[in-house]
Structure formats: C-alpha cells, structure tokens
C-alpha cells in the first residue's frame, strides 16, 4: 500500500507544481535528507520504535496518573468511600492502553488508508446513535457498553484526521483547488459539526474545526480558503447566536471571564468550578504547596479528576511544575512532528501531524479553560484527565504515531 501513495505522488510532483522557485529549492533535497538523517540518528535510539517518543508518553502517563490520583483521592474518599477508586481504574486502563499502543505500533498504518472511509462512517453512525439514546441532562455524548462508555466525539476526531490524511495524501497535488482542497474537508467538517451541535458538544466542534484547518493547511490548500472559512465561521456563530441555538453554550459562557466577581447567585454557582480552579492555580505560586498538599481538591473544586486536574497540578507543583509538564508536552509534540516528517509517505506525514496536533490543541484549550480564558465547555487534558475510553483512544492513536516511526526507521536502513 505504501508503494501506491508514494509512487503516484512522486510521478505527479513535477507536472503539478510549476513555480520555478520551488524547482530551485527542489534541486538539493538528496543532500539535505542525508544531513537530516544524521541529526535524527542522534536522537533515535535503536531501530524501529521511536524510543524518545515512547519514553515521553510513558513519562507523561506516569505524571498524569500520579497527579490525577492526588487530585481525586479526597473526592473518591468522600463520595465513593474508596480513595483509590479512580487510581485503580485509570491504572488498569493505562496498562491495557499501553499494550494496545505497542500492538498498534506493529500494525502497518498504511492499512488505515483503506479504512478511512469506513471509520468516517463509523463516526457518523456513533454520532447518530448517541442522539437516539435518551438522557437525563439533555446532553447526549456517550455510548455506553455496560458500565463503560465512550464519547462518540473521540471517534469523530480520529476519523476526521484519518480521512483528511488519506484525502490529502491521495490528492496532494490537487489540494490547491477548491474542489479537491476545500470541498471534501468542508463537507466532512460541516456534517460532523451539525451532529455535534445536536448533542450538543461545542468544545468538540472547536477542536474538530481546528483539526480540519490544520490538516488542510498542512495538505497545502490555499491560505485564502482558510481566511474565507474564518469569516464564514464568524458569520455562522452570529447566525446561531441570533437564532438562539447557542443557548446551552451561552449558559455555560454566562459569567465566562468573570468567575471572581459576584454578579448574582446563578452566575456565582455557575462559575463555582472555574473560580475554585483559579483559587487553586493562584494558591500554587511559583513552587506550589507540594505534592498531595492541594486544599482546593477537598470538595471545593468539583470533579478535580476530570477536566480541571491541571488546576490541582498548578496548586501542588506551582508554576515551575506546570511549565515542566508543559515542556514535556511540547517535547512530545515536537518529537511527534519530527517522526511524522520522517515518514516516507505523505499519508504517514499527515496522519502523524494530525494526531500529534490534536494533543497540542487539547493541552492548550484545556488550560485556557481552567484559567478562565475560554468558557468552561469540557475539554480533557491528555494523559491527565480521568476517563478510560479517552485514554484508550489516546494511546491507540499514539500507537499509530509509533507505527509511523517504526516504518520510517525501518526503511531508513
């Protein structure tokens, strides 16, 4: 399968890109590739699996589970009666997840070319099924299997990355056209977004939108389409605003940015979680209160094991700890991008970039939410937030990145 995509691309390359300046730069690649190989080999320990990336994942997972445990044990103790409740489950999922990751890394990611349309179909199916399940709260996001459930949107994010990587690599040289470059991506995004709107799951729409833009941008569409999309998006939001469809999101945004002010009882209750998140972050200072010493986790900050786990991290480890963790995330993203760029084929490159970007995006959006720069809409922090299915999904995706690294390294020999 890999022969298929790389082959067609290389034969079409010169015929489609006519700009002379590009021809100039493309005269030198053989030497540059050699240079890069040397650079990479310094960081690439052994052959096959990319060990630095793998270590970064294990490191983040270890820190993440530790902090999730620290944040969750009072809640687990008071509400469930077992301080280790969340830890035990998360550990179990992490072990299973790591096994899946390793297994997937041996799986040739090129097979996903074939499955991309199918998985996109599964994504739509899941999004529709979710809407049919009755819910007490009016929010329909989960598909349950026994005691466990998965958010339909977790599948959608992956499906869109996969599909756009498939499409972008297949029609890479036509991506500057509207028909190939913009239309399919826009169609997939809009249809998914409509279904997410019905759940509703606004934060996921934001992530899906950003992922679509990233994938199309890297696949080479013209910048002007992105600009036009931004304008359209703004118009669409205005329209939704006017028609009142944004009620739920508006409700959640009520008091956004004003968590510390008392306006009225409703707003005060609504911003309770965000306010206590800010108290926790502020309490941490430069060096933090020390591991396990958070006070805000004692039922002041609701659900500290979920989206707001990083607030407790900030309280216990301080700005130093928070920056250190962000650096590890940054290293992971950077390493992931490096791995992706080393992939022999565009499908591998695009898929890897998409999957790694998703982590970066979620980290940024999550922290902007807990610091009250974005409305509180439910974006989890990868490797840290409690949740079995999302952790499994995350490690499955990391397995794909490792699979890309493996094939890239193998072929370099």
Question: Which residues of the shown chain bind another protein in the complex (CB under 8 A)?
Answer: 9, 13, 16-17, 19, 22-23, 25-26, 29, 74, 78-81, 172-173, 214, 217-220, 260, 269-270, 272, 276, 278-286, 292-293, 295-296, 298-300, 302, 314, 318-319, 322-323, 326, 329-330, 333-334, 337, 340-341, 346, 349, 353, 357, 360-361, 363-364, 367-368, 371, 373
Between CA 348 and CA 340 the distance in angstroms is: 6
Least distance CB 188 / another protein (angstroms): 20
Cα distances (Å, whole numbers) of residue 152 to 144, 149, 365: 10, 9, 19
Cα distances (Å, whole numbers) of residue 128 to 116, 137, 191, 379: 19, 18, 11, 21
Q: DSSP class of residue 305?
A: T
Least distance CB 360 / another protein (angstroms): 4
Q: Indicate the residue among 79 and 108 with the shorter CB distance to another protein.
A: 79
CA atoms within 13 A on the CB side of 190: 10
Least distance CB 340 / another protein (angstroms): 7
Least distance CB 295 / another protein (angstroms): 5
Between CA 134 and CA 144 the distance in angstroms is: 12
Q: Indicate the residue among 283 and 409 with the shorter CB distance to another protein.
A: 283
In degrees and rounded to multiples of 5, residue 151 shows phi and psi of -80, 130
Q: Indicate the residue among 128 and 233 with the shorter CB distance to another protein.
A: 233
Q: Indicate the residue among 80 and 235 with the shorter CB distance to another protein.
A: 80
Rg (CA), the chain: 22
Least distance CB 81 / another protein (angstroms): 6
Helices (H), 257-345: 265-270, 272-284, 309-342
Q: Indicate the residue among 13 and 47 with the shorter CB distance to another protein.
A: 13
Q: Indicate the residue among 123 and 357 with the shorter CB distance to another protein.
A: 357
- What CA dihedral angle connects 61, 67, 71 and 77, to 10 degrees? 70
| Residue whose token pair is 């409740």 | 85
Q: DSSP class of residue 165?
A: H
Least distance CB 86 / another protein (angstroms): 16
């Amino acid at each position: 399968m890999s022969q298929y995509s790389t082959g067609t691309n290389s034969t079409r390359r010169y015929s489609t890109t006519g700009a002379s300046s590009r021809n100039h730069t493309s005269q030198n690649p053989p030497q540059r590739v050699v240079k890069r190989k040397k650079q990479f080999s310094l960081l690439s320990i052994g052959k096959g699996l990319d060990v630095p990336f793998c270590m970064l994942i294990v490191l983040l997972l270890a820190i993440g589970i530790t902090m999730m445990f620290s944040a969750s044990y009072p809640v687990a103790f008071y509400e469930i009666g077992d301080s280790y409740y969340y830890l035990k489950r998360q550990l179990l999922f992490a072990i299973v997840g790591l096994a899946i990751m390793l297994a997937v890394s041996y799986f040739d990611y090129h097979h996903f070319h074939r499955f991309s349309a199918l998985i996109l179909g599964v994504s739509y199916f899941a999004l529709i099924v979710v809407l049919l399940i009755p819910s007490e709260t009016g929010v329909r996001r989960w598909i349950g299997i026994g005691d466990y459930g998965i958010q339909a949107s977790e599948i959608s994010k992956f499906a869109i990355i996969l599909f756009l990587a498939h499409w972008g690599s297949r029609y890479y040289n036509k991506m500057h056209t509207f028909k190939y470059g913009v239309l399919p991506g826009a169609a997939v995004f809009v249809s998914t977004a409509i279904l997410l709107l019905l759940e509703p799951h606004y934060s996921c729409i934001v992530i899906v939108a950003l992922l679509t833009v990233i994938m199309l941008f890297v696949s080479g569409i013209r910048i002007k389409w992105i600009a036009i999309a931004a304008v359209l998006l703004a118009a669409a939001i205005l329209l939704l605003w006017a028609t009142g469809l944004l009620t739920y999101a508006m409700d959640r945004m009520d008091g956004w940015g004003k968590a510390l002010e008392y306006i009225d009882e409703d707003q005060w209750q609504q911003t309770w979680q965000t306010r206590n998140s800010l108290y926790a972050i502020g309490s941490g200072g430069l060096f933090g209160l020390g591991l396990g010493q958070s006070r805000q986790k004692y039922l002041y900050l609701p659900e500290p094991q979920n989206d707001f786990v990083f607030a407790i991290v900030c309280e216990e480890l301080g700005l130093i700890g928070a920056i250190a963790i962000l650096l590890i995330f940054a290293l992971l993203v950077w390493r992931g991008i490096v791995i992706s760029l080393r992939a022999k084929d565009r499908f591998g490159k695009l898929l890897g970039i998409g999957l790694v970007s998703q982590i970066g995006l979620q980290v940024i959006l999550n922290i902007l939410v807990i610091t009250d720069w974005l409305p509180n809409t439910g974006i989890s922090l990868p490797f840290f937030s409690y949740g079995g299915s999302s952790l499994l999904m995350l490690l499955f995706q990391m397995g794909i990145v490792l699979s890309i690294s493996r094939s890239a390294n193998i072929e370099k020999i």
